[in-house]
Each structure stands twice: as C-alpha cells, then as structure tokens.
C-alpha cells in the first residue's frame, strides 16, 4: 500500500509571522532546523522510497535533515538531462549502485514552489496590512483567488502544482511507494485541495504550520488521510 507524506518546511530565516517570503530563497532558522529534526524523529519508523521538494533552499534543507534521520543518502534526479544522443528522454543519476536501499532519489521542481507574492514579495506583513488593509491581505493570502498585486493566487499555484503531482508523484504512490513531498504553505494547500476535494470557499480554512505533516494512504483508488488535522489553537507561524 502506497503512502504520501506532505510536510511543510521548517521555519525560515525570514520568520513567517513577520515577512511574506514567497520566492525569496532563504535558509532555515535555528528553530526551523529543530522542526526538521522533529519531523525526522516522527518519520523515523517509515522507510521512504522517493522524495520531492521545491527549488527553494528551505524545503531542501528540511528534506535532507529528514533523510539524515533515516540514514538515507539523497541522490538528485536530473530530469531530461539526456545522454548526449537523446536529450530530454533520460533521467541522469550520479551515485554508486552499492548504496542500494540507503539511497533515495530526490526530484526538485519549481512546480512545488511557494506562491510568488509580486509587489508584496519579502515585505513586512504589518506594513502591508497598513498599506492595503488587514482584510484585503488576508483575502490574498488565504482565498483561492484573486492573488496579490502582480503575484500568484492560490489558483495559479494549484494550476502548476497539481499537474506535476498527477504526472510525477501520484503514480509512484499508486505503485506502492512511500513518497515524501516537502513544500510550502501555498503548494501544500493546493495539493490538499485536490486530494481531499476541498471547495474554493473552504480552502481558506486550511493552513499548514512550519514542520507540520499530513500523511495519506492509498486505498481503494483514493488517498485517505491517516493523521488528524491540527487544532486551530496549536497552529503557529502562519
């Protein structure tokens, strides 16, 4: 039986409660590293087969910390690197075969990136609330659409994340693999909307804390969530 594990990266250096990080490529904070180790401990008994992360450092750092807890060596798959004769058709791996089960293929993709915040990119949340109003800012952040000025709505993120999920991630889960996806608030909300059939209206109530996990099992042709959603009072770093 395949499993899908979704995890939001640990707290980044630009603290989520202070800044709208978006595509700003920043590493984890000290707390973020601790959260990643907490994820590693929670997943310690689950042997992963395959992993995906965004193109941004905070998801990749989180992923490699999780893999270290499993004593796994991550090997990045360079999709479509080709062999010089048939470019675009060959995935290129660089690792010694003797590693066997200690190795886990990793796919890095911009399809799982956080939303692009446009004019709000990297800006202080409080100042943006003062400029645009708290209600408007909340609408841009949590509603399905529209997005912030010159930035991506959640709908736009959905339209890039879900097709990649259907093509690359879901087939592996259906094949019985245990797959880890390390991504961001917006890209994870988009995937959960698709997986659980959440409406455009109700998706505004779905949030991921930094370091939060969502675990799904594939059974009877669908993904079923195993762990319950965190209670509102326990959510942080939103």
Give SS3 for 28: strand
Q: Answer whether 12's CB lies under 8 Å from 29's CB.
A: yes
Q: Answer whether 201's CB lies under 8 Å from 215's CB.
A: no
Q: Which of 11, 114, 152, 212 is catalytic?
A: 114
Q: Answer whether 158's CB lies under 8 Å from 165's CB.
A: no
Instruction: Name residues whose C-beta falls within 8 Å of residue 169's C-beta, 6 or more positions apart in sequence.
Output: 4, 52, 179, 181
Asked if 229 is an active-site residue, the reply is: no
Q: Which of 9, 11, 152, 212 is catalytic?
A: 9
Say which DSSP state 108 is in. Answer: E
Say which DSSP state 124 is in. Answer: B
Rg (CA), the chain: 18
Asked if 9 is an active-site residue, the reply is: yes
Active site residues: 9, 114
């Amino acid at each position: 039986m395949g499993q899908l594990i979704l995890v939001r990266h640990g707290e980044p250096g630009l603290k989520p409660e202070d800044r709208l990080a978006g595509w700003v490529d920043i590493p984890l904070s000290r707390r973020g590293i601790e959260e990643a180790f907490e994820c590693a401990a929670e997943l310690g008994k689950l042997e992963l087969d395959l992993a995906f992360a965004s193109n941004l450092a905070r998801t990749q750092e989180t992923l490699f910390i999780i893999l270290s807890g499993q004593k796994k060596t991550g090997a990045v798959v360079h999709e479509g690197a080709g062999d010089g004769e048939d470019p675009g058709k060959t995935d290129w791996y660089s690792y010694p075969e003797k590693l066997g089960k200690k190795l886990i293929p990793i796919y890095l993709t911009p399809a799982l990136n956080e939303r692009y915040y446009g004019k709000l990119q990297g800006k202080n949340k409080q100042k943006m609330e003062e400029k645009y109003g708290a209600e408007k800012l909340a609408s841009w952040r949590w509603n399905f659409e529209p997005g912030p000025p010159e930035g991506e709505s959640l709908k736009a993120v959905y339209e890039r994340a879900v097709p990649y999920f259907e093509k690359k991630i879901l087939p592996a889960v259906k094949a019985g693999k245990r797959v880890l996806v390390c991504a961001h608030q917006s890209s994870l909300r988009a995937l959960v909307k698709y997986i659980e059939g959440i409406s455009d209206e109700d998706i505004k109530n779905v949030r991921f804390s930094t370091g939060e996990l969502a675990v799904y099992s594939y059974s009877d042709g669908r993904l079923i969530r195993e762990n319950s959603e965190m209670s509102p009072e326990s959510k942080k770093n939103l």
